[in-house]
Each structure stands twice: as C-alpha cells, then as structure tokens.
Structure 1
Amino acid sequence: MVSSNSKKEFVGWGKSLVIAAGMAALIRTFLFSPYIVEGASMEPTLHNQEKIFVNKVYYSSQFTRGDIVIIKGSTENYVKRVIGKPGDTIEMKDDQLLINGEPYKEAYLSENRKEAKSIGSKLTGDFGPIVVPAANYFVMGDNRLKSMDSRNGLGFIKQSEIIGKSEFVIYPFSDIRTVK
C-alpha cells in the first residue's frame, strides 16, 4: 500500500524530471549542442570523430574571421573556418591569402603547408579575387588539400545556414581543449 505522502512525492519527482528534460531539450535546440567531426577537412585543428561543443547563441553578425563554425547542409552538416565576411574581397595567390588586398596570416596552416611542400604542392590553389555577397560567408577547411568548402562545392555560405560556433573539443577526454 502506498501512502498519500508517497504519491505526492512520486508526482513531485515526476514533474521535476519532466521539467529537467524539457529544459535540456530547449538548451540543446537553441543554446548549445555537441557535434561529431566527420572526415579530415579540418586537420590538424580538429580530428575525425572528435566531439565538439557548439555555441548556437553566437549571433552570426558576430562571426569573425578565423571562427570555426558548423554549417547546415542539405544532407549533412559541415565544420569549416570563416575566411571571408560579407563584403570582403578574397584572393589566393602563390599560397598566400589576401583579404581586401592585404596578406592575411594563417598560423593554423603551418603543419599542413609543410606537408604540401614535402609532396611538391601548394596547400591552396590560386583563386579570385572574389567578393563575398551580403549576408554570406566564405569558408575553408584547414586541411585545404582534402576539404570541400567555398572554393569547390559549398560556395558562399548564407548567414542562415550557420548553426553556431565551435567552442571546444569535449571528446575524447584526453584531448579536451578550446578550439581556436
């Protein structure tokens, strides 16, 4: 036999669990969410099968050059680095990125650039100049030899297609780190 106090306690716990589950769903849908990196397009910054924590509140008008973002594709999501913002003129000449006519240093590419030179190749082929349209972004993967991005398939990324900004790697636990 169950007393009325036990029933009230059971109902109270049930309500608490429903509220907690609802809050978790809202947070995951609108604020923060984990994503799994698939493929090698962002190596060595991000590796295949790493889980990253994505901030969905990071308003697209605040995306800065160098941010790593999750992009909603028609059948899958992509993780890429923001290179060009609306109105920027982007050009690649002799493996040097030019933004609005000025050289832009990409320190995160040093390891991949060495690998490309070792096989007698440029890391990034020449292109441009191209102008990024309003409300769009130009993105590239860090592993330029193995990345489908704005240069070769994804095209310009609409502001509305960006899900959020990657904040840090949460798995594997031995590699927890912020994403820069």
Structure 2
Amino acid sequence: MKSFIKEWGLFTLIVVIIIVSRWLIWSPVTVDGHSMDPTLQDQEHLIMFRTQNIKRFDIVVAGEPDGTGKEKLIVKRVIGMPGDTIRYENDILYVNDKKMDEPYLQEYLEAFAKDKLQSIYTYNTQFQARAQVSTAFTVDTNFQPSFTVTVPEGHYYLLGDDRIVSQDSRAVGSFAKEDIKGKIILRMWPLNRISLF
C-alpha cells in the first residue's frame, strides 16, 4: 500500500487539484457564432477565469436566458462599467465624455469603410444585407450611428467586436454583475491561434 501511495500519490494529488480548480477557478468555453469576429472566431475553445475583478475592454462570459428558461453563455467585451455613460458617435466611443480607442475593431472598421464588409460576409447573405443598410459599424437597434446609454450601478454594458451581427447590450440591455461568470484568459484551440488575453 505504501508503495502504491508513493508511486501514485503525487499523480492523484495533481488530478485532484485540477478537478477542484476546474470547479472553482476556471472553466472551458466554446465560442458560438460570429459576434466576436475577428478577435474570436466561431468554435474556438477558450479558458475562462472565474473572477469578479472585471475591467473595461475585458472579454467576458455572461449568462442570459435563451428563451426556454435555460441559461445561455455568451462571450462579449466589456465596454461600459457600472455607472458609466457610454456614447457612440459615428464609430467613435466616448466613456463619460472621454474619447476611447478600440484598436480591436480596426480591421473591420477598415473593411466597413472599403465595401461595408461585403467581401468579409460572403458566407452569410443576411450579414451582408444588415451591413449594407448600416450607416456606421456601431449602430443602435434602430440603426442610428449616434446613441447614448447610462449603465446602471451593478451592471456592465457588453458588446461583440463584430458590431454588425452581434446581439448584445444594445438589444438586451446591460448585464448584472451576477450574470458575469468570468473573463477569458486563454484561447487554447485552434493550436495556430493559441494566445493569452
């Protein structure tokens, strides 16, 4: 018995630590859809760190009802923190009247200026049609390029990086702190896109 414990004790301890940390600290998540393109692509596998320390521009996992009463997990970017006033004016973000850069949007902003993303959205004619009628890359639910939102205390304003196709806080409102499950810290699949966040 001693030899068994000596040989397998460390291995067993490591397995237990992994299982417990998986339950309490981290969780695997799979991207479902195109709302975070090009930052995160459909079916990429991520690691979420369970934390309440959320900062602006973190990529987070949030829970929302899926229409059947079950919770659906979504991956979005934090744009507005509790109490913020968020304003977009023709694709320029202002937070509490301060202009903010969104470098992660650069590729799609350039594509929108070039051909309204028609060459990128060749895989989906609905996306092409939606982009065609958009007057800016970031518009509200009424396709207005200028809009202002005040984030309630204890809530976060979440947007997808592909603003044309993302269903996010513009449509469903802000997310309560308890709906934020954690933030993305690692893309682990596909192997050629492994990266830390």
Query: Residue 123 in 1 paired to residue 133 in 2?
Result: no
Partner amino acid, structure 2, of 1:87: G
- What is the aligned length? 169
- 1:50-95 CA distance string (max 9 Å, x none): 1111111x3x2x3111100000223310000000001110111112
- 8 Å contact kept, 2:85–2:151: yes
Aligned position for 2:91 = 95
Once residues 159 and 11 of structure 1 are traced to their aligned partners in structure 2, the CA distance between those partners, rounded to angstroms, is 44
| CA–CA distance in structure 1, aligned partners of residues 101 and 13 of structure 2 | 48
Q: Which runs of 5+ in 2 are unaligned?
A: 66-70, 117-131, 140-144
**1:36 equivalent in alignment to 2:30:** yes
Secondary structure of the structure 1 residue equivalent to 2:83: coil
Instruction: Give how far 1:128 is off.
Output: 3.2
Distance in structure 2 (CA, Å) of the matches to 1:158 and 1:81: 14
* Structure 2 partner of 1:170: 188
CA distance in 1, matches of 2:170, 2:89: 14
TM-score (norm: length of structure 1):
0.83
Q: Whole-Å Cα distance in 1 between the matches of residues 93 and 38 of structure 2?
A: 19
Deviation at 1:25, TM superposition (A): 2.9
Q: Aligned to 1:67, which of 43, 54, 58?
A: 58
Deviations 1:130-173 (A, max 9, x none): 211111000100000010110012x1111111111101210111
- Distance apart, 1:26 and its partner CA: 2.0
Query: C-alpha distance in 2, partners of 1:31/1:38?
Result: 22
5+ residue gaps in structure 1? Answer: none
For residues 20 and 114 of structure 1, the distance between their equivalents in structure 2, rounded to whole angstroms, comes to 47
Question: Distance in 2 between the 1:178 and 1:11 partners?
Answer: 36
Question: Which digits, 9 at most, give the CA deviation of each residue in 1:16-46, with x for residues without a partner?
Answer: 7776554333211210111111111001111
Contact 2:86/2:96 (8 A) holds in 1: yes
Runs of 4+ with >4 A deviation: 8-22
Residue 47 of structure 2 aligns with which residue?
53
Q: Given residue 32 of structure 1, which amino acid in structure 2 is its aligned partner?
A: W
Aligned Cα root-mean-square deviation (Å): 2.1
Rounded Cα–Cα distance in structure 2 between residues aligned with 1:17 and 1:76? 35
- Pair member with larger Rg: 1
- Name the TM-score, length of structure 2 as normaliser: 0.77
Distance of 1:13 and 1:33 partners within structure 2:
29
Show the counterpart of 1:159.
177
Q: Return the match for 1:86 from 78, 82, 86.
A: 82
